[in-house]
Amino acid sequence: MTEELHYRFPPAAAYRLNRCLFALKSDDGFRARFLKDAAAALREHALSDEDAAAIARGDRDGLLARGAHPYLVFMADLRLRMEREPVAFEFF
């Protein structure tokens, strides 16, 4: 029996969700808008209410269940933390 892979084919239904996570990870302007007003920024991506709520909550398990790519969830979160807590980096 094939075990479940850690990194699976991203379902096409989750394209917008992954697009939004990609923007949080890689688009400095979008990340800044998200940190200023998350709800307004999320509207730019025309997500479903459930997807938008999962991103706003930073609900990793919920995002994965909705088809988000694990790496995008991980790095979007890390990049947000690097912005929110810059003093936690360049620690040594």
**Residues engaged in binding another protein (CB under 8 A):** 2-3, 5-10, 15, 18-19, 22, 25-26, 28, 60, 64, 69-75, 78-79, 82, 86, 88-92
Complex with another protein: residue 42 or 63, whichever CB lies closer:
63
Q: How far is the CB of 68 from another protein (least distance, A)?
A: 9
Query: Using CB atoms within 10 A of its CB, is residue 28 exposed (0-12), middle (13-18) or buried (19+)?
Result: exposed
Complex with another protein: residue 39 or 44, whichever CB lies closer:
44
Q: Please report where in the chains the tokens 């620690």 appear, as a residue.
A: 91
Complex with another protein: residue 15 or 32, whichever CB lies closer:
15
Exposure on the CB side of residue 50, measured as CA atoms within 13 A: 9
Q: Alpha-carbon distance 25 to 59, whole Å?
A: 16
Tally of residues, the chain = 92
Q: How far is the CB of 14 from another protein (least distance, A)?
A: 9
